[in-house]
Structure 1
Amino acid sequence: MTNIFERLAKVSRSTVERVHGKDVTIFPLSAKDPNARSKLSATDEPYLTSACFFENTQMENDSKAQPVTGMGRTLHRAAQRLASIRLIDGKPLVAGFMLRREEDGALFTIGQFDPDGLGTVMATLSVAQSLPEA
């Protein structure tokens, strides 16, 4: 029974991403030297896709690690940013790639992500200041 509900949640998230998703550009980075600065990939071109952005404002799961107020909000911590990103066949998506939201030009670095098997991934994002040089 749990598997049916998990699949329904994943399908619902995929539907929300298609309806309410924002246009984003994924910037692949080269990973030749782990000790060097990140560079835009010379072999993989940036590509367009869509993503639906979420913020975990309640953070009940994180309350054990951080002190919380009486209203259920974590103190001294920014809300976790998540994005449901639509996968594009034949295009790479790796943790560490950059994402730009086209609506406002906001830049993010893609942290860990979890594919749902339905063509999207739920990714953790962190704010980035600028794109690395090519």
Structure 2
Amino acid sequence: MANIFERAVSVARSTTERVMGKEVTIFPVSNKDPNAAPRLSQTDAPYTTSAVFYENTLIENDAKAQPLTGGGGKLVNRALQRQASIRIVEGQSLMAGYYMRRESDGAIFIISQFDADGLGTVLAVVATVKALPEA
């Protein structure tokens, strides 16, 4: 039964992404040396797609995975988790560590991790960054 509901949620998110998605540009990164700072890829060109941004406002759901601090078992100094449902572009790579720029306001994010839903989108955990790395 849970699989039916999970599938319904995925389809709803995919539909929301198509209707309300914002244009984003994905910047592939090349990391030949794991100890070096990330650099924009010279071989893979940036490409555009669309994404819908979410913030996890139900922090209590994450309490199981996070240590509780402060009085009364409350989470203290915990930022909301920002996620993006990103449309997959055929023939283009998408990996954790890639950068993404939201074109409507120029905000830049790094993709920390993601999970494909099998419907043409991925649900990615993203973090804001100040600037793109150099090429």
Same fold (TM over 0.5): yes
Give, in angstroms, the shift of residue 67 of structure 1: 4.1
SS at match of 1:118: coil
Alignment match, 2:21: 21
Count, aligned residues = 132
Give, in angstroms, the shift of residue 131 of structure 1: 0.6
Alignment match, 1:98: 99
Give, in angstroms, the shift of residue 129 of structure 1: 1.0
Q: Match of 1:66, as an amino acid?
A: L
| 1: CA distance, partners of 2:69 / 2:19 | 36
Q: Match of 1:97, as an amino acid?
A: Y
- Unpaired segments ≥5 residues, structure 2: none
- Unpaired segments ≥5 residues, structure 1: none
SS at match of 1:91: coil
Q: Match of 1:57, as an amino acid?
A: T
Give, in angstroms, the shift of residue 80 of structure 1: 0.6
Alignment match, 2:111: 110
Identical columns (%): 59
| 2: CA distance, partners of 1:89 / 1:46 | 14
Q: Match of 2:85, as an amino acid?
A: S
- Judging changes above 3 Å, is the alpha-carbon distance between structure 1 residues 55 and 68 closer, same or farther for their aligned structure 2 residues? farther
Q: Deviations over 1:47-103 (max 9, x none)?
A: 000000000112122224234888xx8431111100000000000000000000001
| 1: CA distance, partners of 2:25 / 2:71 | 37
Q: Output the TM-score relative to the length of structure 2.
A: 0.91
| 2: CA distance, partners of 1:58 / 1:85 | 21
| 1: CA distance, partners of 2:123 / 2:40 | 23
- 1:69–1:75 CA contact under 8 A, matched in 2: no
**1:1-20 matched pairs, under 5 angstroms:** 1-20=1-20
- Judging changes above 3 Å, is the alpha-carbon distance between structure 1 residues 16 and 68 closer, same or farther for their aligned structure 2 residues? farther
**1:1-134 matched pairs, under 5 angstroms:** 1-64=1-64, 65-67=67-69, 74-134=75-135
